[in-house]
Amino acid sequence: MKKSVFVAHVARVRNANDVQLVLDTLMQDKKIAQATHNILAYRVRLENGSISQDNDDDGETAAGKRLGHLLQLLDIADIMVVVTRWYGGVHLGPDRFKLINNAARQALESGGFIGN
């Protein structure tokens, strides 16, 4: 039985252009570009102090929104997270959301963006 693999990538960003630059850089890695899903969420603090945020499921229904919600709960900004999933042939159901969020949280912790 094959298993899905989840890997998270985290970067500091200041605006949507930064998000696209980081995403373009990640997609230069053929393994990442050919993954089943690259789920994205970001939050940036604007000059007026408000938060701009967005997400992309990349075909993994509701995953981007849930990843964005994690960033909201952690109350962090000027950050983007991409969780890459390589589908392993087994449907994970709702458990996939836990795996996606766990990968993101671990990357945020190891990068020093949040405490553990």
pLDDT confidence tier of residue 91, bands split at 50, 70 and 90: confident
89: left (phi over 0), alpha (psi -120 to 50) or beta: left
Q: Tell me the pLDDT tens digit for each residue of 59-85.
A: 999 999 999 999 999 999 999 999 999
| pTM attached to this predicted model | 0.94
Which secondary structure element, helix H or strand E, spans residue 9, and what is its range?
strand 5-12
CATH class of segment(s) 5-110: alpha beta
Tell me if residue 29 falls in helix, strand or coil: coil
Task: Show me where the domains of the chain are located.
Answer: 5-110
32: left (phi over 0), alpha (psi -120 to 50) or beta: alpha
Q: Tell me the pLDDT tens digit for each residue of 16-30.
A: 999 999 999 999 999
Beta strands in the chain (DSSP E): 5-12, 37-45, 51-56, 79-86
d(CA 50, CA 33): 32
